[in-house]
Every structure is written in C-alpha cells, then in structure tokens.
Amino acid sequence: MSARQPRQAWEARVLARAALGLYPPAWRARYGDEVRALLEDSGSGVRAAASLAWHAVPVWACPPRHLYDRRGRMRASLASVGMAWALLAGLVAVFVQLAQAQRQVQASTLAQHPVITWSYWAFDACLIVSLLAVAAGGVPLWLVMFRRARRARRRRVVACLLVPAVVPAAYLMVSVAVFALVRGPGRPVVPWESRSVVDLANGGVGPRWFLALVVLGLAAAAVSAAGPGLALRRLSPHGPVLVLAARAAFLAAVTMGLAGAASVVAAVGLYLWAPAYAGYHVTWPLAVYLPAVLLAAAVAVVSAARGIRAADPPAVA
C-alpha cells in the first residue's frame, strides 16, 4: 500500500460524508447512521460520494412519504418565511423613505404619471393586508409559545420570543439618536443638479449614515425574525395554531411579495418618468433594490407555499 492510499481513503470518506449532508434532515435522521455504517464497511470512495450526492436531488424534489413530517415542514417554512418577510419589510421601508415619504421630490412626479400612483396604492394595500396576516397568524402562535416557555421557565426561549419587540425598539432608539446627533439641514433639491435619491432623501443625515442605518436595519430585521425561528425549533409547537400560522404566513408572504413587486414597478416608473432633479435616474439604487426584493420575495413565497402544502396536504388517491 502506497503512502498516498490512506490519505485518498480519508478524503473519499470525508467526501461521502459531505454528500450525505446534502440530504434533507428527516432523511439523514432516518438513514444517516445506516449509510455511514455501510460506507465504513464497504470502504467509501469518490463513486460512493458522487452516487450519494446524485440521489439527494430526487429526495429533495419528492421526499419519501413515510419521512414527511408535516409539523416539522410547517415550522421550518414559518422560520424561513419569517426571515424573508422581515428582510422584505426592511427593504420596502427603504423604498418608503426614498420614494413615498419624499413629498418635496415627489409632488410633481406623482401627479404626472398614473402608473406610479397606482403602484403606490397597490403597495399600501398589500402592505396593510400583509401586516394584518402576520398579526392574525403570528400573534396567537407567539402567545402559545410564550406561555409554554414561561411555564417551563425556559429563559433563553423567552428571550428569543421577545427579540421581535426588543430589537426593533433598540434600532429605532439608535436611529433617533443618530438623527439627533448628525442631522443637518439637508441639501436643497434644485432642478439643475443631478444627484442620486440617496443623496437627496436621506432624512438629512447624509448618504453614509443613511446607508449605515439601512444595513443596521436589515440586520435588526434578520435578528428579529431569527428569535421566533429559534423558539419554533426549541418548542416545536403543533395543533391548529400552527396550521393557522402557516396559512397566515402564506397570505403574508404573497401580499408582501406583491407589495415588493408594486414598489419595484414604482421604482422603475420613477426611474423612467420622474423629473431629473428628483434623483431617481441614478441606476445603482435600483440595481441593488430590484434583485434584493425579487430574491427575498421568491424565498418568502416558495417557503410559504411549502408550509401551506404541509398545512393542507392534497388528498392521496
């Protein structure tokens, strides 16, 4: 046996185990140990790793019926939808700040093009429905989990559940402090000067502070969603309250996705039809906003669809 052979065997084993990591958690929990034992007995190789990786694809696409954990699927979907929804909410808040809240640069634009006005109405309506859906599905589930965590004296889980209230409040306080400390008079909007909307609509704190607050806000949104997601994993709630949350999450994700789409239409409309001085003709804010909204909306809607499929499974013939 050459000196390279043990190393090759070790690499092949590591590869095969990494390939096993490509399988869904339920499949790994059921067959993982057996496959590892088989790999040890048969001396796993690159062929075993490639075969394992290849067969992981159909398992994801069409999970075996006997391993399908409806409640687990709903909980995982709720956690993903929560994260994607929170990021979308953060992104559309940036849109509100840069577009709808800017009366000075918007006044003439809004009156001039109906597509932008309709997009704003659709955006507002979808946002309201989405928020109501989150409240209708999220609050009962949150209350059930909070009561259970308190009764069981699980302080970490209680802390996780309080994160969506504490972190946004802390973020708002930081934002108010930044505004109080660095806010300037703001640059006047003048027709002969072409600048980006971030230069013009940053609330008087300047583009750098504004972008820092945006990044901090998105991080706060992600942390706020991660808290309940972790609590879902720890407490594994079930019953009608979970099904209600999965259905509400679907509505919330779809309407937030539509709100994001409406904001994209409005942003493109502003890019095309706003007067030059309004700052909407600069490409980079749109180039960042568009893919971010589409990606978050796609994740939210796909995760929510998987969750509602688990909540209302199709009848098996």
Partner 1 sequence: MREGLNRWADPPLLVLASLAEESKHGYAITQDIADTMGIRLSAGTLYAAISRLEARGLIEPLESDDRRRPYRLTAAGARELAEQSERMHQVASVAQQRLRVNYGWAGA
Q: Does residue number 65 form part of the binding site for partner 1 (CB under 8 A)?
A: yes
Is 300 in contact with 85 (CB distance < 8 Å)?
Answer: yes
What residues contact residue 187 under an 8 Å CB cut-off, 6+ apart? 195, 199, 200
Q: Does residue number 35 form part of the binding site for partner 1 (CB under 8 A)?
A: yes
Q: Does residue number 39 form part of the binding site for partner 1 (CB under 8 A)?
A: yes
Q: Does residue number 7 form part of the binding site for partner 1 (CB under 8 A)?
A: no
Kindly tell me which residue out of 12, 15, 24, 44 binds partner 1, with binding defined by CB under 8 A: 44
CB 16, min distance to partner 1, A: 7
Q: Does residue number 36 form part of the binding site for partner 1 (CB under 8 A)?
A: yes
Q: Does residue number 153 form part of the binding site for partner 1 (CB under 8 A)?
A: no
Binding-site size for partner 1 (CB under 8 A) equals: 30
Interface mask toward partner 1 for 207-236; x: CB under 8 A = ------------------------------
Kindly tell me which residue out of 6, 21, 25, 58 binds partner 1, with binding defined by CB under 8 A: 58
Q: Does residue number 12 form part of the binding site for partner 1 (CB under 8 A)?
A: no
Kindly tell me which residue out of 34, 153, 180, 185 binds partner 1, with binding defined by CB under 8 A: 34
Binding footprint of partner 1 on the chain (CB under 8 A):
16, 19, 27, 30-31, 33-39, 41-42, 44, 47-48, 50-56, 58-59, 64-67
